């Protein structure tokens, strides 16, 4: 029986060496989690229980326990490289089978799905453009379609009118039209200052809107607007108070554009519908300083093609478009387990749930006990090489010691056989 005892020791040492070797081999594998072989001693037993004064019968492997401690975070230049800082696993789908991993090296396949290096699809919740959940857990897919344009609905200009100005020498004649024959445009002598901005029709076509400011008497100004060189309507009164601001009763003070017909480069309708929008001037002032604008904003934009992807720390995937817009496409879901050590290893740094691990607890990043997601980073292997080399030496010595025990037992057996 002593031979079997030593053989079990050799097998245990060989298993330990195999586990250590696998750890060392994967010391640079993204998201790899080191493992440790755990052993238990063997004793003879009978129906009535353990036998008193019975010697041990060797050692047996009890489990290979995975160490799920945090690996180092290494930064990359790929926005779809994701690292979990804290607890949790990325959930993947392999043709419907749920897999769990800490390896966040993702990319986009030919169909637009976000996939792991093995082609397994990353799971998340679909979101609308406002970030509201619109469906159940599923594959996260990036749309390659153009994002629809939006016509200008509101705009805002914050400007200062120079209070030292005097009324212009020439009266604004009105009804200017760059496409008329002959073309008519306002002369610089008709206004004190002007600015311009780009606005968009409902088809996403850009148009230049110019606003001319004309000083009257008693701190009164007016604004005149042209879009693509065509005057859009009557003047907008801008009555400043003695403090250089608009009176509360006059707020909000807005230029209102009603039923504007977008034109093409020849002066004909470009196919876009009539459009109405406002330009808020409420925060403009009249002080003794040169004219200037501190803010010009509007909410329209043209159609856009996706040019990049971003992922925030809560796992929300944003698409960036060439028109400067961004849109939420989905939110990565993390899975946690009451007993992650019970997960079964599925290879390629993936795990599957088991009876011992329990069912996954799904949550968004940063909630439900899960960590946050770091975009543009990967979690490295948590293998500590120094520790593994020490374990290798110990396992090697155990192997050698058990082999020496077999040699000794063989010598004793030979001695007994040779007795006369």
CATH number at residue 203: 2.60.98.20
Whether 308 is in a domain gets the answer no
**Integer angstrom CA distances of residue 191 from 159, 222, 289, 295:** 15, 10, 17, 21
Same domain, 190 and 281: yes
Among 280, 298, 316, identify where a domain stops. Answer: 298
Q: Is residue 104 part of a domain?
A: yes
The pLDDT of residue 163 is 96
pLDDT of residue 53: 58
Residues 224 and 294 placed together within one structural domain of the fold: yes
pLDDT at 161: 97
Question: Is residue 317 domain-resident?
Answer: no
Do residues 63 and 77 both lie within one domain? no
- 227 and 340 in a common domain: no
Query: How many CA atoms are closer than 13 Å to the CA of 369, on its beta-carbon side?
Result: 9
Same domain, yes or no: 130 and 166: no
Q: Rounded to an integer, what distance in angstroms lies between the CA atom of residue 419 and that of residue 413?
A: 10
Residues 6+ apart with CB under 8 A from 156: 279, 280, 281, 283, 295, 296, 297, 298
Residue 321 maps to a domain: no
Asked if the model's pLDDT at residue 97 lies above 60, the reply is yes
Q: Clarify whether residues 374 and 287 are in a common domain.
A: no
100: tokens are 């769990």
Residue 310 forms part of a structural domain: no
Statement to judge: residues 190 and 282 lie in one domain:
yes
Residue 27 lies in domain: 2-69+382-417
Do 339 and 374 have their domain in common? yes
Strands 285-287 and 154-162: parallel
The answer on 188 and 282 residing in a single domain is: yes
d(CA 341, CA 173): 82
Task: Report the domain count for the chain.
Answer: 3
Domain assignment of residue 307, yes or no: no
pLDDT above 70 covers what percent of the chain? Answer: 96
The pLDDT of residue 402: 81
Q: What is the mean pLDDT of the chain?
A: 91
Q: Regarding predicted confidence, which is higher, 8 or 47?
A: 8
pLDDT digits (tens, 9 = 90+) for 276-331: 999 999 999 999 999 999 999 999 999 999 888 999 999 999 999 999 888 888 99
Do residues 65 and 79 share a domain? no
Establish if 147 belongs to a structural domain: no
Q: Is the pLDDT of residue 52 over 60?
A: no
Report pTM.
0.74
What's the mean pLDDT in 244-255?
A: 95
pLDDT at 50: 53
**Do 283 and 178 share a domain, yes or no?**
yes
Q: Which of 298, 320, 354 is the last residue of a domain?
A: 298
Residues 260 and 272 in one domain: yes
Neighbours of 1 (CB within 10 A): 8
In a domain, 277, yes or no: yes
pLDDT at 137 over 90: yes
Residue 420 pLDDT class (50, 70, 90 cuts) = low
SS3 content of the chain, % helix, strand, coil (to 5): 15, 40, 45
Please tell me the predicted confidence (pLDDT) of residue 311. 94
């Amino acid at each position: 029986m002593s031979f079997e005892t030593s053989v079990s020791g050799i097998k245990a040492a060989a298993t330990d060496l195999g586990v250590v070797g696998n750890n060392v081999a994967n010391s640079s594998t993204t998201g790899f989690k080191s493992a440790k072989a755990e052993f238990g001693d063997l004793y003879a037993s009978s129906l009535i229980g353990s036998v008193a004064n019975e010697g041990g019968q060797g050692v047996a492997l009890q489990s290979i326990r995975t160490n799920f401690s945090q690996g180092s975070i290494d930064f990359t230049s790929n926005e779809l490289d994701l690292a979990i800082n804290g607890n949790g696993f990325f959930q993947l789908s392999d043709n419907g089978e749920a897999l769990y991993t800490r390896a966040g090296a993702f990319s986009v396949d030919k169909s637009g799905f976000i996939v792991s290096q093995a082609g397994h699809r990353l799971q998340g919740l679909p979101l609308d453009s406002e970030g509201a959940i619109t469906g159940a857990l599923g594959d996260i897919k990036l749309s390659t379609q153009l994002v629809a344009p939006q016509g200008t609905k509101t705009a805002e200009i914050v400007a200062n009118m120079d209070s030292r100005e005097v009324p212009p020498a020439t009266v604004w004649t009105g009804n200017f039209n760059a496409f008329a024959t002959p073309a008519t445009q306002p002369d610089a002598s008709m206004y004190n200052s002007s600015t311009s901005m780009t606005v968009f029709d409902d088809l996403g076509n850009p148009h230049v809107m110019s606003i001319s400011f004309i000083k009257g008497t008693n701190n009164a100004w007016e604004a005149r607007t042209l879009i693509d060189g065509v005057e859009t309507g009557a003047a907008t009164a801008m009555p400043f108070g003695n403090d250089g601001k608009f009176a509360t009763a006059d707020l909000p003070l807005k230029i209102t554009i009603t039923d504007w017909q977008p034109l093409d480069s020849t002066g004909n309708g470009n196919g876009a519908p009539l459009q109405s929008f406002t330009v808020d001037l409420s925060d403009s002032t009249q002080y003794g300083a040169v004219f200037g604008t501190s803010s010009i904003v509007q909410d329209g934009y043209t159609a856009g093609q996706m040019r990049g992807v971003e992922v925030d720390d809560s796992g929300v995937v944003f698409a960036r478009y060439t028109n400067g817009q961004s849109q939420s496409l989905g939110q990565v879901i993390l899975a946690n387990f009451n007993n992650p050590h019970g997960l079964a290893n599925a290879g390629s740094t993936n795990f599957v749930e088991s009876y011992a691990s329990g069912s996954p607890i799904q949550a968004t990043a940063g909630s439900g006990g899960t960590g946050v997601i770091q975009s543009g980073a990967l979690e490295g292997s948590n293998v500590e090489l120094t520790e593994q080399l020490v374990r290798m030496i110990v396992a090697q010595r155990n192997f050698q010691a058990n082999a020496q025990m077999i040699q000794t037992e063989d010598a004793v057996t030979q001695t007994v056989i040779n007795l006369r």
